[in-house]
Structure 1
């Protein structure tokens, strides 16, 4: 047996070193089934010290490391390349809640904690951990940090960078950086945690994090409304902020084409599905008031929105169950679109003010050059993040759309940058966007990133081939 494999077994135990092809297979293909690689082994350490020992061993043998959490990424960032000269280090067993500090409104979690478990732990203590994603039942805190995840409540609470107080990281030479300080203010030099958040495992392995907690809202008010135009959605955000004492925590723009994928059997949606503009918004307010007051406030707001000509119809949730049903519609769109055939996904962000012009400009060009493709658009309008996806007009055209993936990507991304946007809002770069990154960032930015990578990981063993 390979001496390296034997040494791995000595560190973490034979049962946690997967070397058989069947055992390794689930870890070698990304969630979207676009990337498949090879690996010497899949390693499943239990604690930060085992991670550090494995990293030192890999450095000695010059074997690359691919950190992996829930393997729910959409850019191939947690998938090894095809050389086979790497190991996958899974954080699945690093799943402890290390500390719950209610007085400091903070929680310390290991990287392998499933996001939904983090939410439930906070809820059990009477607090809110606000990160919420469609994949929250399987994605992990480490992966959320590695991609600087956003989600549906980022409008009010921010993304993972905003939610993080401190990190524990194993560096590429096997040292342990213990930055798990629950401080809101710590102006003592470079912000190292911000360097690792969003780095997709290319600078080190995040093994734990101290994260912010928030008071639980006393009530929530949820509604789905039909818009008169995309521009009216932007005006509705402003009206919501001016007229409501509650916090606008979510504001999701959804095309009726996307809505149709999941509401064909749902009652009372006909008027929303037939909205003339082709757009609806799912919005939610969180409040410290009781439910009766919150409901009255959202009704007053939407009444004014009607009068102002911003919306044409509204469905207000009258119970927690109805609110869950509305959110279920939004959360099932990503999976529902797959039945249309091969999907080309774009995770883009733009200045909110530029969104209407971008949507119109991109649609005109797509109609002209790719009439066999239809857009499926939904996303976090409140922070300018759209999931701008394209599907073939029929599943039989899946091969055609795959053949045109590169040119369609270029068209959409060119439009995004024409309006001063970004081609990666919350999914990261990984493998799928790596080669395009130098086209989208300046030579100075790329060189600074390369300098940081070389300084921290001179042997290039930490997730090579991702981002850069």
Structure 2
């Protein structure tokens, strides 16, 4: 077992070693420069760190981890620092933050194998751009794609709006390279679809939030670029009607269905306030909205007919009240702006208490109904705010305070609200974190909603990889 050092002398010696490994461009120790790494982008989590290490290669990162391990100093791997769960902020002021932001190389791209191998500091937008250069797509799509990094996407098992068709980061990853807590390097950048030689080690690190090692590179799956895309925004009376519409859309459009996004009336109302360029295609308000997108390899316009037929049938059945199909790429982007602007809409509407939850797709309407009713009983006047990926069961359920209640007063009810929402999620066989990770935010709740057997297995895994608990301590399970 490693001994955690507490003396200033050993920490100062570590600083000299890190300077020697990283050089002046890779080592940060001044408070003014450290601050942006220690605060989450939304300001919800703040920590302190002694240093930030910015290696430019896997070898340098390995040397940094080895030096920190020998000094008994905690390490906090950090991607683009766009997370919402506090997984990238230190809980120990002696920590060294390890940022791979200088590791942005494109190591390989293979059009015939439909794969791309990139370093962990590359942004998601850069990966998408490299894929477009060979007429392919990397389908992960997030609002933060211009700044979030692939290492962070992997460490939180990011999802986004295209999971319905392409899956989350687990499904999009073929191989990894990882620096282990002892400084060793696991080179697992295999570009294979099939490999049955024992444990699938890469899955241990995906979603581990840097608690078992530091991801330094990944081999990711690419897909043919769609030639035909059709998007529609429709108004529906209830989440149950939206679920029936999803079933109908699948029967008409099949595997071409790539996104099915649910939004409440309040979400539409506040996004129009928050984003000056956003406009509703409807003259009146409706209870719920669904943004539907399908993409295929056929001739442009080939999917429009099946989509129109589906929507016509849905209107006949009372599943759709009103709807509009995008007639151009510009119109399609305007429809997506209404969905992608939900973070800004939440800010405009009031400080909500955020929940990133998932339940079986068939039980999404039940979850929303039960959560709405339970919170209305506990806090009369509470304003439900819900949107998300109905196609994969992931709902962002973020109730806002009653009118006249300040954000600080509402925040005092956070634990109570979390318990109400998450108890319903657990009862429905769901997860309290669908795509934002556990970090600090949900760590204590893990012990309520995971079984003793599962918690014990997670602790054994952590102990096996990181017996000194130096790799991102205070997060997930450590």
TM-score range, shorter chain: over 0.9
TM-score, with structure 2 as normaliser: 0.95
Task: Please state if 1:121 is matched with 2:130.
Answer: yes
Relative to 1, partners in 2 of residues 1:3 and 1:139: Cα closer, same or farther, differing over 3 Å? same
> Would the aligned equivalents of 1:148 and 1:198 in 2 still touch at CA under 8 Å?
yes
For residue 101 of structure 1, what is the aligned residue in structure 2?
Answer: 110
Which deviates further from its counterpart, 232-241 or 456-465?
Answer: 232-241
The one of 419, 433, 438 aligned to 2:442: 433
> Would the aligned equivalents of 1:64 and 1:463 in 2 still touch at CA under 8 Å?
yes
For residue 156 of structure 1, what is the aligned residue in structure 2?
Answer: 165
Task: Please state if 1:56 is matched with 2:45.
Answer: no
The one of 263, 273, 281 aligned to 1:269: 281
Q: Name stretches of at least 5 consecutive residues in structure 1 with no aligned partner.
A: none
The one of 307, 315, 318 aligned to 2:327: 318
For residue 47 of structure 1, what is the aligned residue in structure 2?
Answer: 57
> Would the aligned equivalents of 1:69 and 1:91 in 2 still touch at CA under 8 Å?
yes
Give the Cα separation in 1 of the matches to 2:371 and 2:382.
12
Question: What CA RMSD, in Å, does the superposition of the two structures yield over aligned residues?
Answer: 1.4
The one of 30, 33, 36 aligned to 1:20: 30
Give the Cα separation in 1 of the matches to 2:29 and 2:257.
49
Q: How does 1:179-218 map to 2 (within 5 A)?
A: 179-218=188-227
Give the Cα separation in 1 of the matches to 2:77 and 2:165.
30
For residue 72 of structure 1, what is the aligned residue in structure 2?
Answer: 82
In the alignment of these two chains, the number of paired residues is 464
For residue 302 of structure 1, what is the aligned residue in structure 2?
Answer: 311
Instruction: State the 1:324 CA deviation.
Output: 0.8
Give the Cα separation in 2 of the matches to 1:395 and 1:155.
39
Relative to 1, partners in 2 of residues 1:450 and 1:267: Cα closer, same or farther, differing over 3 Å? closer
For residue 340 of structure 2, what is the aligned residue in structure 1?
Answer: 331
> Would the aligned equivalents of 1:340 and 1:395 in 2 still touch at CA under 8 Å?
no
For residue 21 of structure 2, what is the aligned residue in structure 1?
Answer: 11
> Would the aligned equivalents of 2:232 and 2:292 in 1 still touch at CA under 8 Å?
yes
Give the Cα separation in 1 of the matches to 2:332 and 2:366.
31
Instruction: State the 1:245 CA deviation.
Output: 5.2
SS at match of 2:383: strand
Provide Cα deviations, 1:408-457, integer angstroms capped at 9, x if missing partner: 11111011112121111111100011011010000000000000000110
Moved over 6 A (4+): none
TM-score, with structure 1 as normaliser: 0.97
The one of 369, 372, 377 aligned to 1:368: 377
Relative to 1, partners in 2 of residues 1:449 and 1:268: Cα closer, same or farther, differing over 3 Å? closer
Instruction: State the 1:90 CA deviation.
Output: 0.5
Q: Name stretches of at least 5 consecutive residues in structure 2 with no aligned partner.
A: 1-8
Give the Cα separation in 1 of the matches to 2:111 and 2:221.
10
